[in-house]
Amino acid sequence: MQSQVVRPNAPNLAEHAYRIRRNALLMGEVQGQGYIAQALGVADVLAVAYFHAMRYRPEDPEWEGRDRFLLSIGHYAIALYAALIEAGIIPENELETYGCDDSRLPMSGMASYTPGMEISGGSLGHGLALAVGYALGLKRKKSDAFVYCLFSDGECGEGAVWEAASGAGHWKLDNLIGIVDVNNQQADGPASEVTGGLEALADRFTAFGWYAQRVDGNDIAALTAAFDAARIAAVAQPRVIVCDTRMAKGVPFLEQREQNHFLRVEPDEWQKALAALEAGRAA
């Protein structure tokens, strides 16, 4: 296990989360629509992952000792780019190329395009199973790095997620930390209606032999504690943090809008959205 696994709370996690949201809005504006509500919702989780929990070197994204972060939900690339920019892994001036021809920041995350993007997600259901392989490989190399895998409530419909859950439990992969973004949304509507079973998500992982926690994914203190516990828990089990998040968090007028997997924001609303976000920052 990693040395120094418990770190002092970075005082400015909320500020990092604010800046991740701001980066996401600036990228969203380039396309005018997209997975903006997801990015705003998961920003606190990414702030705690990248600025509290994870070990990495911004100047060397392929550093052998890094914690691996696997983005299974390729459409959340906008959220991860926002965090990678904040972490200094991608230069800030590239955000204006999001989803443009020949950009390094395609709309669906792919490993060959972007530094810091470990896998090509997007065909949902791959990430956690890949994470099992990464975790086995790291153990074989006697590495103390962790594998984080971000996946989603809708994705839990895929059988491969549960093959991975079973395999990781069987192999007691205590270097694997799953993060589920439960925003109660997927393509056709609320995940509670389309897939169901969300209340029991943590219990389902527990039944597969995981060390499971469920937290408010927009509460930075709760997230920090959960990531700490996931890293230090003295149990030979894979860990999962089920994070309940609010779509479009941080931009109240978008939070109130009918929740939508692929959000359309009108051209005159972007400035309003940035201003609303800024207002929340001061508060």
Ligand X SMILES: Cc1ncc(C[n+]2csc(CCOP(=O)(O)OP(=O)(O)O)c2C)c(N)n1
The residues binding other proteins (CB under 8 A) are 30-34, 74, 93-94, 96-97, 99-104, 106-108, 110, 112-115, 120-125, 154-155, 157-159, 186-188, 193-196, 262
Of 198, 180, 80, give the one whose Cα is nearest residue 128. Answer: 180
Rounded to a whole number of angstroms, the minimum distance from the CB of residue 250 to Mg ion is 17
Of 131, 129, 133, 99, give the one whose Cα is nearest residue 113. Answer: 99
Q: How many angstroms separate the Cα of 96 from the Cα of each of 7, 32, 104, 198, 217?
A: 34, 12, 11, 36, 28
Of 12, 86, 78, give the one whose Cα is nearest residue 56. Answer: 86
Among ligand X, Mg ion, other proteins, none, what does residue 73 contact (CB within 5–8 Å per kind)? ligand X
Can you name the residues that pair with 254 across neighbouring β-strands? none
Torsion of CA 134, 136, 142, 144, to 10 degrees: 50
Task: Identify residues 2-61 at the interface with ligand X (CB under 6 A).
Answer: 35, 38
Beta carbon nearer to Mg ion, 213 or 259: 259
Binding mask 193-232 for ligand X (x = CB under 6 A): ----------------------------------------
Can you name the residues that pair with 243 across neighbouring β-strands? 181, 215
Among ligand X, Mg ion, other proteins, none, what does residue 127 contact (CB within 5–8 Å per kind)? none
Can you name the residues that pair with 141 across neighbouring β-strands? none
Rounded to a whole number of angstroms, the minimum distance from the CB of residue 187 to other proteins is 5
Binding mask 114-133 for ligand X (x = CB under 6 A): --------xxxx--------
Of 20, 1, 43, give the one whose Cα is nearest residue 223. Answer: 43
Rounded to a whole number of angstroms, the minimum distance from the CB of residue 152 to Mg ion is 4
Rounded to a whole number of angstroms, the minimum distance from the CB of residue 192 to ligand X is 11
114 binds Mg ion (CB under 5 A): no
97 near 30, Cβ under 8 Å?
Answer: yes
Q: Which window, 62-70, 152-160, 165-173, 235-243, contacts ligand X (CB under 6 A)?
A: 152-160
The continuous run of DSSP H or E covering 263 comes out as: strand 263-264
261 binds ligand X (CB under 6 A): yes
Among other proteins, ligand X, Mg ion, none, what does residue 167 contact (CB within 5–8 Å per kind)? none
How many Cα atoms within 13 Å fall on the side-chain side of residue 57?
A: 7
153 binds Mg ion (CB under 5 A): yes
| Contact with Mg ion (CB under 5 A) among 185, 195, 218, 245 | 185
245 binds Mg ion (CB under 5 A): no
Can you name the residues that pair with 33 across neighbouring β-strands? 264
| Contact with ligand X (CB under 6 A) among 73, 107, 149, 173 | 73
246 binds ligand X (CB under 6 A): no
Torsion of CA 46, 70, 9, 93, to 10 degrees: -50
Q: How are beta strands 33-34 and 263-264 bridged, if at all?
A: antiparallel
Provide the binding-site residues for ligand X, judged by CB under 6 A: 35, 38, 73, 75, 122-125, 152-155, 183, 185-187, 191, 261
Provide the binding-site residues for Mg ion, judged by CB under 5 A: 152-154, 183, 185-186
